[in-house]
Amino acid sequence: MNSFLKTFLAALLAIVVSGVMMVIFTVNVISGLSLFFGSGTPTVIEHGSILSIDLNQPIVDEPSGSLMSDLDVTSMTVNRKMALLDVINAIDQAALDDRIDGIYLNVSPFTPQGTATISEIRSALERFKTSGKFIYSYADYYSQKTYYLSSVADRIYLNPQGELIWKGLSSQVMFYKGLLDKLELKPEIFRHGSFKAAVEPFLMDRMSPENRLQTEVLTGTIWGQLLAEIAASRSIDSASLQAYASQLAVTNAGAARNLGMVDSLAYRGDVNDLLCEMTGQEEEPKFVTLEEYAMQSNAGVNHASENQIAVVYAEGEIVDGGAAKESVGGDDLAEKLARMRQDDDVKAVVLRINSPGGSALAAEVIWHEMERLRAEKPVIVSMGDVAASGGYYMAAPADVILASPTTITGSIGVFGMLLNAGEGLKNKLGITVDVVKTNPSADLGSPFRAVSQTERDYIQQGVEEVYATFVDHVAQGRNLSVQQVDSLAGGRVWSGVSALQNGLIDAYGGLREAILLAADRAGVAGDYRVTTPSVPEDRLSMLVNMLMSRVKTPTFEGQLGEAFQQYGRLQRILSRQGVQAIMPCEIEIE
């Protein structure tokens, strides 16, 4: 009897506890979703308000296609990501809004935005200044990227004990050859172009002369562009800015002020007092956040026009078939472009590309649909932070290509890679593999053996054919000869500055300029609305995917830190199949 009672009470307790836990979970879910879906009370914007911009959250190219995609189920919080076009439109609207007296750049120490994205926002701030309204900037710590943004301000303030980092740009590459040698893993590489350096980490322990040259030119031109823009805004010549970086002259806040890189040293409260004086407030400035203002400025947009300028986004690595999370699916994007071609209300299309490339076959699928679209409607490409290799492949047919001076582009080249782990498994782990096959190369692609010379020639021929097709597409799209394109290709990466000089892009400009140009080309300037085509999503699948993916990624990322990025990059490279068109290097501006 006692045993029965113990078992019964234990079972009852388990039921009660699980029930309580389920109730708590359900309440959290409901409260989270109510916050997520609820509209809340709109922010009242009064006269004398200041638009506050910090950019501490990611700004994405493509607006959120679903409310569910912004919900973090692990914390039951809403992580709204602003779209770049919303940010730019909000700043432009603020210039015309008599309730907004000025902008306060309350910049965070680090911003996740890419340099070209920052450049587009900076251009919007420059337009704002023509309204006669003020822009003030404050930070406890300026990174080079946030200083580049803030240099457009009328006055720049820095905490007296703060820092301004000024040391130049660098690009680092991690090499895996030593590790592969220790494990007796042998990569089999097939590529066209000595500048196609994406596979170098598996072959060498340092940069090749060609890769070093292209990286030096790339970082040099981007750094030169930043110096030129900062010099113009701060009335400091570029040579002096270069010398300050080389000499590490900005040793502290006082040095930053003495060298003219900031205007004054002050604490945040002091700047708030100054802003109160500027706007006639007594105690606290009337701040309105960029997110709050963008929501209201978007609400007032006229959506009545039947003429549509469709903005299609290609953000992430290019993969075959459908799109996975943060990637560009060749079939998915081609299907979107086809729908835009068939829609009579769509008068022109802007393809916004922010991609380092990926599958050459998927890029070809997108290229073909771009060709069909251009035959019927104006097509403008807007390049974001990066539009290289496969990203440039799909851009080539456009009527006009716009990019930022700091956009990373080009990388017209392809490669393929196999990894032979046979000897390593045998010698390190005692694992051997045997095979039965009907033909000598029936197991071509097996990771347990080396390729024969016949197989090597076969694969290399495929790489050469893809490269020749790539070059021919670019030559046709850019009205250049094959020889001219080949001289710019070979996998070489270019900045937007160099791309304008060598004809790979047509002009500087961001997403805003691309939309204006598309409307003009379509003959609907002044009478159009911007639309974003989307694919209907399975809400249940989205929720399951969030539950599965948004737990492990933050966990590993938090434990590995910067190594997580290298891990992700290595994982993607090793998992790729077929001929690839992807850029070889990355530049981080701190």
Active site residues: 196, 389
Tokens of 449: 């053996």
Tokens of 510: 């961001």
Report the length, in residues, of the chain: 590
Burial of 355 (0-12, 13-18, 19+ CB in 10 A): buried
Burial of 203 (0-12, 13-18, 19+ CB in 10 A): middle
SS3 305: coil
Tokens of 84: 């770049």
Contact call for residues 582 and 317 (beta carbons, < 8 A):
yes
CA distance 147 to 139: 9
Sheet holding 155-164, edge to edge: 264-265, 155-164, 134-142, 100-106, 49-53, 286-289
Please name which of 111, 177, 172 lies closest in space to residue 144, comparing C-alpha atoms: 111
The amino acid at 107: V
CA distance 221 to 407: 11
The backbone region for 417, taken as left when phi is positive above 0, alpha when psi lies in -120 to 50, beta otherwise, is beta
Q: At what angle do helices 84-96 and 115-129 cross, to 10 degrees?
A: 10
CA distance 353 to 330: 13
CA distance 192 to 468: 10
Please name which of 472, 584, 492 lies closest in space to residue 189, comparing C-alpha atoms: 584
Query: What dihedral angle (degrees, nearest 10) is formed by the CA atoms of 459, 460, 464, 469?
Result: 10
CA distance 498 to 213: 14
Q: Which DSSP symbol is given to 375?
A: T
Contact call for residues 382 and 353 (beta carbons, < 8 A):
yes
Nearby residues of 496 by Cβ (< 8 Å), 6 or more positions away? 116, 383, 403, 404, 405, 406, 407, 408, 409, 505, 508
